[in-house]
Structure 1
Amino acid sequence: MKKLMHGAGLIVALFLFTVSMSAQDRKAEGRKAEGRNPEAMAKLLTDNMKNKLSLNDEQYKKAYDANLEFLNGAKELKTSEGHTVEKGKGLKELDSARDEKMKAILTDEQFGQFLVMKKENREKMRERRKPRE
């Protein structure tokens, strides 16, 4: 009888521990999402570009504006009505427009590095979206 009670106690403790851990995960996800407004994301993205591409102050300001415009457009697309395919096309158009702006803002070398950064970020995003095994 003692062994049965001991085993049941361990199961209850394990259950409570699991519930507690999953609640903490949800809180952390909520905190991550709080800073995801277009302005904050544009600043984060442009700060990263400044570090990796050595942007000067004028380039930083113009790149921030281009990133903010892109992110505002992407947010509008995400919340709009319509099919996913249409939204995807709209996002590609926004991305192409931003690329054109970046090409005018950045030097040829910086623009090449920018395209590499975009590709790396896209790969990281795909990895995060893969189901965990």
Structure 2
Amino acid sequence: MKNKIGLIALFALFFGLCQSTFAQDVSRKDQAAKAITDTMQVELTLNDDQYKKVYDINEQFLTKLGGIKQEGGGKLAKLQKLKAADQERNAALKPILTDEQYKKFQEFKKERREEMKEKYKNSKS
């Protein structure tokens, strides 16, 4: 149950960061992909080649998230699709990032997930 809440919080973060992406406006999607990739560049110290590849992966990821949000279906089905999209993104990033960068990326995601859990708890209070 805690894992599901954590995953929901993680994807809520991505939806929150990229809300405008889902309007199918290419420039907004590009801006969101750039913002995420810029953050990753700072956090992970990406080189130029890595930046370009990570940007493409993030752009594809955001496109998938937008499609999932647009689809019908229940929350559990969407959660499963979001989890699958996140796993695909992780698999695509792993060969591009060094072991240390990938570890930092996973830690960064975990921290964001914890922040979202706290915000969720505080909003319920």
The normalised TM-score by structure 1 is 0.70
Query: 1:132 offset after TM fit, Å?
Result: 5.2
SS in 2 for 1:36: helix
Choose from 19, 31, 37 the match for 1:46: 37
More relative contact order, 1 or 2 (CA 8 Å, 6+ apart): 2
% same residue: 40
SS in 1 for 2:38: helix
Query: 1:52 offset after TM fit, Å?
Result: 1.0
Work out which of the two has the higher radius of gyration on C-alpha atoms and give 1 or 2: 1
Amino acid at match of 1:53: L
What is the number of equivalent residue pairs in this alignment? 102
Change (3 A) 1:129 1:36: farther
Please give the root-mean-square deviation of Cα atoms over the aligned residues, in Å: 2.0
User: CA–CA distance in 2 between the matches of 1:95 and 1:70?
Assistant: 8
Amino acid at match of 1:36: S
Q: Give the unaligned 5+ runs of structure 1.
A: 1-31
Other-structure match for 2:99? 108
1:1-133 correspondence runs (5 A): 36-37=20-21, 38-130=29-121, 131=123, 133=125
* Runs of 4+ displaced beyond 3 Å: 32-35
Other-structure match for 2:3? none
The normalised TM-score by structure 2 is 0.74
User: CA–CA distance in 2 between the matches of 1:122 and 1:42?
Assistant: 19
SS in 1 for 2:94: helix
User: CA–CA distance in 2 between the matches of 1:34 and 1:113?
Assistant: 22
